[in-house]
Amino acid sequence: MKKNLIFFMVVALVALFGWNNGASAETKMIFNGEYRIVGVSADNVYDGVDKQPDGTLDDKVDFFMQRVRLNTIAATENVKGVLGFEIGWDEWGKSYGSLGKGANQEGGDAGIMVDYSAANAEVRLAYIDFTVPDTKLSVSIGKQPLFSHQHLVQLGAAMSPGIQAKYALSEAAKIKVYWAKIVEGSSATAHDWVGNGDSDNDLYYAEFSTKAEAMNWGVYGAYNRDFREAGGPSTRPMAMANYDVTTQWFGAFAGLNVGPVKLDLHGAYGKWEFDAARGATQDWEGTGYYFRAMGFMKTGVGLLNFGTLYASGDGDFTDNDFDVFPYVEGGVMYPWISAVVAGPNILYWGNGVADEVYNQTCLPPSGVDNLGRWFTNVGLTIPMGKTKLIGELWYLKTAEDPSDPKTYNHTYRDENIGYELDLELHYAMTKNLTLQAEFDYLMAGDYFAKSATISADTAYIAAVGVKYAF
């Protein structure tokens, strides 16, 4: 079946190029990209607790890193080919994996000075996008950005090989469907697949959306099929035998204006089943839901934004029902599919300066502890000529209390993740060169407490960098 699929795609691409060459359309070549250098200082980001007298639990880091992206686009009237390369993030003089000091590093790139054999030069984008002549159907094939509304089902930073089709029902309404290959075979970048044999993970997605002057809305459904030979997700008991996981999502979203406030509403329901080879006693299942409301309003000072996010969780691990909003692990640098959308909070440290590198420590909406999440935020974006200032305050907590004896340190933890303040500055030095700085500070709550003697402590990230876009 896999060989047949590859053969079909090759034939389709050859036919496509032949069809394109048969026409006398002029080809346009476009080159663009970006180069970034960022200096970072951070402490307690991974564990939320301070360094102990014996030297353990130390995750303070100071480092520089850089990244280069280059995109080449060949376009004719109906066909576009995109090829994008990335080198980085390279840390100057050492290997990748800064924030965790050994935790969550499997998905990182290797520093070019130390682990040169694990080269971090990669093809980030490689796809063809074309419009079928005399129709309203467009098709894209290859490694490309595939995501749902607010990136809930698949994180947009994780480019996946797949096939996507979009069909315009009218000027306002369209249908989008895609298939994405998340993992095929053993993946060296996913925590649970390393050395665990063959994996087969596919995602199928369909969405209807429509726009009008007063309101836009849409609905979607997604299905994930994750078959693995050994190992298990880090949030569930290990199954040292074959197992299958199937997950389904159904969501709806709407954007509308209420007076001076623009609202974005998004809700989703998810269901998953875990079938282990060694019997029903190892099987699990569950359902969960997610809701997010965001508001935006222009003021005399700047753009005010506010919102709340709730994802259900489960604090009872004594049965085989885990009623949490489901997620799926992917074999990519950014390991969590079903991650909460971009925003500078505990899930997305470094949103303004070096966003993707910190996504390695991000959590799915329910959290890797299956306790769910309830976040509330308010922020302000202030433009001042070439300068833009952004401030955001978050209150972060879990939806369930860690009271089950099977959960980690349940006696000393509670629902309070803490308050987080995020500040960003962006200054356009020239048309293409931007100076960026940010400071993110977490007043950590007892969620991070490890014992009666190791309590939560503050965490921070400070970063300064330059970005050259061309």
Where do the domains of the chain lie? 2-469
Q: Write down the pLDDT at residue 431.
A: 94
Residues in the chain: 470
CB 114 within 8 A of CB 94: yes
Strands 61-75 and 373-384, by their bridges, are unpaired
Q: Write down the pLDDT at residue 104.
A: 38
Instruction: Report how far residue 48's alpha carbon sits from residue 460's, in angstroms, rounded to the nearest whole number.
Output: 9
Q: Note the helical H segments in 97-246.
A: none
**Encoded amino acid at 76, one letter:** T
3-state secondary structure of 5: helix
Token duo for residue 108:
């990182």
Token duo for residue 86:
């990335």
Residue the block writes with tokens 């402590």: 457
Q: What angle do CA 273, 277, 280 make, to 5 degrees?
A: 60
Taking the CA atoms of residue 368, residue 370, residue 376 and residue 380 in that order, the dihedral angle to the nearest 10 degrees is 20
Cβ-count burial 342-373 (b if 16+ within 10 Å, e if not): bbbbbbbbbbbbbebbbbbbbbbbbbebbbbb
Closest by Cα among 307, 275, 315 to 291: 307
Predicted confidence pLDDT, tens digits, the chain (470 residues) = 554 554 455 445 445 544 445 445 688 999 999 998 988 888 887 778 888 888 888 878 787 888 889 999 999 988 999 999 988 667 776 544 444 343 333 333 433 333 333 446 778 899 999 999 989 999 999 999 888 888 787 655 567 899 999 999 999 999 999 999 877 765 444 444 333 446 678 899 999 999 988 899 999 999 998 876 554 443 444 434 467 889 999 999 999 999 999 999 999 999 988 887 655 566 788 999 999 999 999 999 999 999 999 999 988 877 778 888 987 655 544 333 444 433 333 444 444 565 554 444 445 677 777 888 898 999 999 999 999 999 989 898 999 988 877 766 788 889 998 998 889 899 999 999 999 998 888 898 998 888 888 888 898 888 899 999 99
Q: Write down the pLDDT at residue 237.
A: 41
Q: Write down the pLDDT at residue 277.
A: 63
Q: Write down the pLDDT at residue 354.
A: 53
Instruction: Report how far residue 2's alpha carbon sits from residue 435's, in angstroms, rounded to the nearest whole number.
Output: 47
Q: Write down the pLDDT at residue 93.
A: 62
Q: Hey, how many other C-beta atoms are within 10 angstroms of the C-beta on 98?
A: 24
Query: Does residue 89 have a cis peptide bond before it, meaning omega lies within 30 degrees of 0?
Result: yes
Q: Write down the pLDDT at residue 256.
A: 95
Indicate the fold that domain 2-469 takes in CATH: Porin (2.40.160)
Residue the block writes with tokens 């960098």: 465
